[in-house]
Structures are given as C-alpha cells and as structure tokens.
Amino acid sequence: MAFGTVFGRVNAHIEFLHTGADGVPLAQAFAFLAMDAVSSKRFKTAVEQMETSDLSDVGQRQTPIDAAFETLRESVRQLSGMLSPGRRKRSKN
C-alpha cells in the first residue's frame, strides 16, 4: 500500500482482513506487516499529529451525563419503534 501524508509518501506491506470494519459495509480492515524506516517515521509523525488534533477519537470518553443522555435516546428510540407500527388513531366523538 502506498499513501500520502503531509510528511511525505508512506509505503507499507499490508494484509487485508475482514470487510465491514466498524459496521461500515464498504470499509476494509487491514493490518500493517512491514514498513521501511523512512515510511515508518512519516507514518508515526502523521499519527501523532492526528492524535493531538480534532481528527482523533483517542482519549475521548463519555462523561456520565453524555452516557445518561445516550441511554435516554436509545430508550426513546425503542419506545418509538414499539409504538409506531401498532399505533391507532383515536376517534373523535
């Protein structure tokens, strides 16, 4: 595999793994097998820069309030799914 970074081109030998990585049907998982020293340095520097920017999800954890809201949202989705298919209209008398 060859790809560009802001620090230069990275060349690496990879192994393709499973498709559907992270629940995305078209995503293709892979593992790095080997990389020359120059490519390794470029890749490491690019990853370090991404981890310190807003481009990374490393280190981001849900706060208790975020977790509570996520639980609430999921509960509302489930209730909505239960109510929608069998929902009956009230007749006006």
- CA–CA separation, 33 and 92 (whole Å): 69
The domain limits of the chain are 2-83
- Please check whether residue 12 is in contact with residue 34, taking contact to mean a CB–CB distance below 8 angstroms: yes
The pLDDT tens digits for 64-90 are 787 787 788 888 877 776 775 555 555
Q: So what's the pLDDT on residue 21?
A: 75
Q: Which of the two residues, 68 and 92, has the higher pLDDT score?
A: 68
Q: Long-range contacts for 28-36 (Cβ within 8 Å, ≥24 apart)?
A: 30/1, 35/10, 35/11, 36/11
